[in-house]
Amino acid sequence: MYSKSDKRLCTIFISLAILFLFALPSAVSGQTLAGATGSSSQWGSGWLDLAPPVDFAKGEHLKLLIGGSADKILVRLLPRGASPDMPVGIIGGAINVPKSRIVEVTIPEDRRQVIQISVHGGPNPWGEHPLGGGNGPATIESAERVRP
């Protein structure tokens, strides 16, 4: 037979196991970012319009599933009030797209009121970022926010 203390320990263990199982997925997985997607074959870019605007914190990660045939891309977080025709809000520089087509970037500083996430392929986005003559277009298939 089990003593009262054995039953109590068993109950505590089961409770902690259940708590761990329910907490684990939210700690490991990210938040899917929803919005309207679009693309431009002329500019070799794709985007996800965010409504309402989103605030990103330094150290957060974006996990992007990249469509298209680009080998290299730029990732941009366009702030409210900025023109999408200008190279504003780019994160870092050129990023190589792996075979998995999943690109993860770290947000280098707080980015407030972001209205659009975009990826830019093609040979030379905005005429200022040479990615290579044979570089194809890029689109966003999905976007996930992963908090540290």
State if pTM tops 0.85: no
Burial bucket for residue 68 (CB in 10 Å: 0-12, 13-18, 19+): buried
How far is 37 from 90, CA to CA, in rounded Å?
Answer: 18
**Token pair belonging to 112:** 């407030």
Contacts of 68 (CB under 8 A, 6+ apart): 39, 44, 46, 121, 136, 137, 138, 139
pLDDT digits (tens, 9 = 90+) for 18-72: 444 444 443 446 899 999 999 999 999 999 999 999 999 999 999 999 999 999 9
7 falls in which pLDDT band (50, 70, 90)? low
pLDDT digits (tens, 9 = 90+) for 91-113: 999 999 999 999 999 999 999 99
